[in-house]
Amino acid sequence: MAGVSGESLAAAQERLATMLPSATLQLAEELFGVLATLDSSAGLRRALTDPSRPGKDKEALAKQLFGGKVSADAETVIAGLSSSRWARARDIGDALETLAATVAIAVAERGRSGGLSGLERLENDLFAFNEVVNSSHELQRSLVAPQASADAKAALALKLVPNAGEPARVLIRQAAADPRGLKPTALVGRFVELVAERQERWIAYVTVTAPLSPAQMERLQSGLDRLYDRELKINESVDPRLVGGVRVKVGDEVLDASVISRLGELRRQLAG
């Protein structure tokens, strides 16, 4: 999604980020439910994405339709999407799908195992579903059979991964019941991509001029964990040509010892 729709999605993701620390799977399911309503009515999609209508009018329409029927957080998400600008009518649904999946992924991130391990379990559950389906032409046909109801397809999909966690079950159920023109495995693949993007927040890609000793790695781990206020997983690579001695990338942030002073402290820790 690019252009004006991409900008609207990015703004919606920023608003959603404030809700994620306390969001539950109920919010994800509510947003998927609203998505089904949008997908069932081309007229509604056009009304909510009409560039000639003021954002406040579109937001009022969304409130009239969904107010009191979903949680306050869901209303806030829908209102923000409705008041935004979209290049195509379908884009608002694509954005809503992404936001709903993001909520489920964030719940997994906060799960019992927590952090990166929670995301890894979710990723494994989604991969397991795709592997089972891809191994059987009969299952592939059953999950796209036009005569089967959405509920029947969802029930079959969930039987294939009986040990999956609840966030994975929400996403798999959605992919089987309403893949929105894709094969269920293709939509699950998109969800896996979103999981991978979320995982980047927990991984520090460290490039150094020479391999770190165990003691240096321990000090680097401690320093990065304090700097980012979370327990990061370090992926180390060696590049003798590196200028500055050490380079760290966490998510979208790159810390380069030659230009960013925060790495000075880390370099001193490595030196012992």
Which residue range is the domain that position 86 belongs to? 3-199
What is residue 13's predicted lDDT score, i.e. its pLDDT?
A: 97
What is residue 267's predicted lDDT score, i.e. its pLDDT?
A: 58
Instruction: Judge if 141 and 226 occupy the same domain.
Output: no
What's the gap between Cα 79 and its chain centre?
20
Domain count, the chain: 2
Chosen domain end from 170, 199, 228: 199
Instruction: Judge if 204 and 141 occupy the same domain.
Output: no
What is residue 272's predicted lDDT score, i.e. its pLDDT?
A: 59
Instruction: Judge if 195 and 214 occupy the same domain.
Output: no
> How far from 53 is each of 46, 57, 61, CA to CA, in Å?
10, 7, 11
Chosen domain end from 168, 199, 230: 199
Instruction: Judge if 160 and 244 occupy the same domain.
Output: no
CATH number of the domain that residue 253 is part of: 3.40.30
Chosen domain end from 153, 177, 199: 199
Query: Consecutive 10-residue runs of the chain (272 residues): their mean pLDDT?
Result: 90 96 97 97 95 95 95 97 96 98 96 84 96 97 96 98 97 98 97 94 88 89 87 89 81 69 57 61
What is residue 192's predicted lDDT score, i.e. its pLDDT?
A: 97
